[in-house]
Amino acid sequence: MSPPILMYHELRLRGRSLCSDKPGYTRYVIDAEDFRSQLKFLREQGASGQGVGTLLERQTPPPAISVRQTPSALVGITFDDGCETDAIAAASALAETGFGATFYVVSGFVGRPGYLNETQIRDLAGHGFEIGSHTASHSYLTGLSEDNLLRELSVSKERLQQMLGRPVVHLSCPGGWWNSEVAAAAKSLGYHSVSTSNLTAAADVDPFCLPRYAVMRNTTADQLFRWLTGRNAWRRRAKNTVLDGVKRVVGIPMYYRLRGRLLGE
């Protein structure tokens, strides 16, 4: 079993409004305090949180320790969207536990209200966190022409590299929309990995289709533990296979209407 990778989004801080109050957005938002508790829980379970780059470096050899029903020694921690709470809430909680993480930033959102600015992105990188691309405009990549796909991936990569003065080689797909063209485009532009949010990926690690578990408002400690130990992974994979089939057949808007019903959300 490859190390599980968790996917987080904006964190909720008391008295602070969110980047969006739409239900489809807020169900991915967890309280900053809950995030802190989850990291402590992971550490108590013997897990060590790392960014995707570190995870891939350590992947071979030696393999991650993963005895069935015992949590993986390594767990990937990732954040999508580049919200300001990455810098003002997540980073300090991660530092307290000594965990690393990858922050995937939408380059076109940098400096907007509620999102990271350039200084904050540089500070995160300066503290050892990985900065990845979450595209230039948060477009769903599988619906784009080849030109637009390449533009989303290259413009964001270059803008972030200019900001940081170092290569940006990890990408995550907005909305989890991934296909083999996205993987090929990322590879051709010099990315080293692509994170998705589906769990249908094979047991062998394909760095250009990394599965992630979405930590949501209703995610429990028990659920986190099951993800760490791989228990019930087959059931989630089966559910995601069904959803992936639906995604291909009905297209993006209809998919989201059906998804809620299928997942009972």
Nearest residue (CB) to Zn ion, 80 versus 130: 80
Chain positions contacting Zn ion, by CB under 5 A: 80-81, 174
Nearest residue (CB) to Zn ion, 82 versus 230: 82
Smallest distance, Zn ion to C-beta of residue 81, A? 4
Nearest residue (CB) to Zn ion, 48 versus 139: 139
Smallest distance, Zn ion to C-beta of residue 1, A? 26
Nearest residue (CB) to Zn ion, 47 versus 115: 115
Q: Give me the residue whose beta carbon is nearest to Zn ion.
A: 80
Nearest residue (CB) to Zn ion, 105 versus 205: 105
Smallest distance, Zn ion to C-beta of residue 175, A? 6
Smallest distance, Zn ion to C-beta of residue 65, A? 31
Phi-psi bin for 188: left (phi > 0), alpha (psi -120 to 50), beta?
alpha
Smallest distance, Zn ion to C-beta of residue 63, A? 30
